[in-house]
Structure 1
């Protein structure tokens, strides 16, 4: 079961819808807030107007003004007034008096429904009602109609609704254009990716502010391209190295196989004397051994490249004795010195390390040169130093010689192999927990092998 892929809905449409939705919510909140606040303020002003008119009426009564003057002074601005004198006369008139709290006329509450507290403003739904007793014993009734407030609030709601609709329509156009401008860097990234696909591998975004969201994305994109180019270069180098390896291997195998073929054909066709026949067959055996060594090196390189560590048969081994046997196999001007030093190693694999180092040293020293092998113990490590008086290794090449297929002298390399001995020697030493390094030297080359030691018994 495969994992779901990346959802690729239009980013511009999604961002536009989110912004418009958020704007719509804000407009609704704003409209509701304005409606509630404005309505509450208008109704509060209307109630305060009734209280102020009642205070004005009381002031006029205290000044001895007539009942008609009192009613005229407090009437107006949606406020109606009626004054009942102490002797029962009525001055002023209220059209359609609102129902009181008990449902009857506010001016004449029934016995089962007592009148509201004097001076208290009562909300009857359509109007505000205030009844108060004046100092001369008269009773003043004030009514303020709420319908103008209701109409104003209704008009405001329509204005807010239409304004919100127009705002959302304009915002839809502006947000789409603005989001398009904001997403323009993504378009650049898409164009760059397509140009790279077409072969322009060197282009990069190079954001000026990599700490931002798009900047970090662009920087990550550039890093990915750098890694891909690096991986491609590595793959190309590996491919080229493999071609070189196959070419060198074919060249190295062709020479000994041709020599073997020539020797065997000479023996079969001419039936030479016994001494000559043995010489030819011995040469054929040597060339076959050389071919077998090269094939073994190729197999070792293939195993190391695949990450397979070689199987080690460890046992305590005297490295001085191992070095002397390796010198005997290689031949040439090799001198081994040192006291017996034991190491817990696979003697066959360490012998392969020493054989590779000694063959290189003998080849570099030449017939008139010399090779020195010194075995010492250094704390918990055994150390084998192989030096020669050949041309040496330049300082900037001391690590490079351990790369596969590297040969500092191409002409000499044709006599000695395909440049696999040192990489194999280092890989085998590291498999033992040790190391092979190229050390500074005044004359010639100096290679050092370090391996963990173990006490010798017996």
Structure 2
């Protein structure tokens, strides 16, 4: 039989709940980071697409190139416009680093028709926001796990009070106290069913103990009679003188043997009662009441001659 694990239930529940919470927070953190990154990319693409669309509209309206660059300029976006004449307006496009570049051809009046518009967005800001979000998620997750573990330790102390009461009752019964019961208010819960089974076990144990006391008392009472008969017959045999009739001596010796056998049968009957109480099937047989009454009368004549 394997040994029962006796690790602290409070510790086991706290560690399990903390691990589950940690796994959930990690999965949630990865999900939030992925959603944030995807949404940031979509927002950046939407910003660049909107700037390109605005530039196309301004080019068709014959807006001056310098004014066009100034109007489509946005925070984090570098605008470079290369005119058909070869002149470049705006900052030159960045060639290194984490950048996202969009190129578009503008159409409109001759001075801007065919101009190449280059929009370069620095993704470092987006990467920085993602790193900040990751730090916030890690710190917040660790704080949540620590707070949850501390709260579980306090909460489990209150939640496990019924088990502490059950343990106290079991120890009081082991020390000799009887009659105590848990008496659960509800039996449709885990602790309620456990407490109900515990009370049923105590009822069975105390009933068995009471049956054992009754059995011992009955055995002592029943054995007292044949033992007294054996003592009386033995004393009568010893008191017989040499002039005693052989019939009288033989009668006492037969009575002595019969009482000793009766005591032996009584012991066997008590053992049979114990076996019956353990579940052995009882087999009945016919008894001659006349012989039973005659034997009882002979014994009483010896015990109480008067």
| Count of aligned pairs between the two proteins | 289
* Shift of residue 238, structure 1, vs aligned partner: 1.7
* Shift of residue 27, structure 1, vs aligned partner: 1.7
| 1:201 corresponding residue in structure 2 | 178
Q: CA contact under 8 A between 1:206 and 1:222: conserved in structure 2?
A: yes
Q: TM-score, normalised by structure 2?
A: 0.83
Instruction: Say whether residues 1:138 and 2:115 are aligned partners.
Output: yes
Q: CA contact under 8 A between 1:94 and 1:143: conserved in structure 2?
A: no
* Shift of residue 66, structure 1, vs aligned partner: 1.4
| 2:18 corresponding residue in structure 1 | 20
Q: CA contact under 8 A between 1:79 and 1:145: conserved in structure 2?
A: yes
SS in 1 for 2:78: strand
Unaligned runs of 5+ in 2: 108-112, 277-283, 302-306
Q: Deviations over 1:39-65 (max 9, x none)?
A: 110111001110111111111111121
Q: Deviations over 1:391-431 (max 9, x none)?
A: xxxxxxxxxxxxxxxxxxxxx99749xxxxxxxxxxxxxxx
| 1:102 corresponding residue in structure 2 | none
Structure with higher helix content: 2
* Alpha-carbon distance change, 236 to 194 in structure 1, aligned in 2, over 3 angstroms: same
Look at both structures and tell me which one has the larger radius of gyration over its CA atoms: 1
SS in 2 for 1:81: strand
Instruction: Say whether residues 1:354 and 2:287 are aligned partners.
Output: yes
| 2:279 corresponding residue in structure 1 | none
- Once residues 89 and 293 of structure 1 are traced to their aligned partners in structure 2, the CA distance between those partners, rounded to angstroms, is 135
* Shift of residue 127, structure 1, vs aligned partner: 1.4
Q: CA contact under 8 A between 2:83 and 2:116: conserved in structure 1?
A: yes
**Equivalent residues in 2 for 1:226-305, closer than 5 Å:** 226-262=203-239, 265-266=240-241, 268=242, 271=243, 277-281=245-249, 283-284=251-252, 287-288=255-256, 290-291=258-259, 294-295=262-263, 297-298=265-266, 300-301=268-269, 304-305=272-273
- Once residues 117 and 215 of structure 2 are traced to their aligned partners in structure 1, the CA distance between those partners, rounded to angstroms, is 107
SS in 2 for 1:142: strand
- Once residues 300 and 249 of structure 1 are traced to their aligned partners in structure 2, the CA distance between those partners, rounded to angstroms, is 14
Q: CA contact under 8 A between 1:257 and 1:287: conserved in structure 2?
A: no
| 2:131 corresponding residue in structure 1 | 154
| 2:44 corresponding residue in structure 1 | 46
Q: Deviations over 1:31-86 (max 9, x none)?
A: 22111111110111001110111111111111121111221121112111111122
| 1:129 corresponding residue in structure 2 | 101
**Equivalent residues in 2 for 1:175-214, closer than 5 Å:** 175-214=152-191
* Alpha-carbon distance change, 166 to 232 in structure 1, aligned in 2, over 3 angstroms: same
| 2:82 corresponding residue in structure 1 | 84
Q: TM-score, normalised by structure 1?
A: 0.57
* Alpha-carbon distance change, 126 to 211 in structure 1, aligned in 2, over 3 angstroms: same
- Greater RCO (Cα-Cα under 8 Å, separation 6 or more): 2
| 2:6 corresponding residue in structure 1 | 8
- Once residues 228 and 32 of structure 1 are traced to their aligned partners in structure 2, the CA distance between those partners, rounded to angstroms, is 57
- Once residues 64 and 118 of structure 2 are traced to their aligned partners in structure 1, the CA distance between those partners, rounded to angstroms, is 16
Q: CA contact under 8 A between 2:29 and 2:137: conserved in structure 1?
A: yes
Q: Give the alignment's Cα RMSD to 1 decimal.
A: 2.9
Unaligned runs of 5+ in 1: 100-124, 309-348, 365-411, 417-458
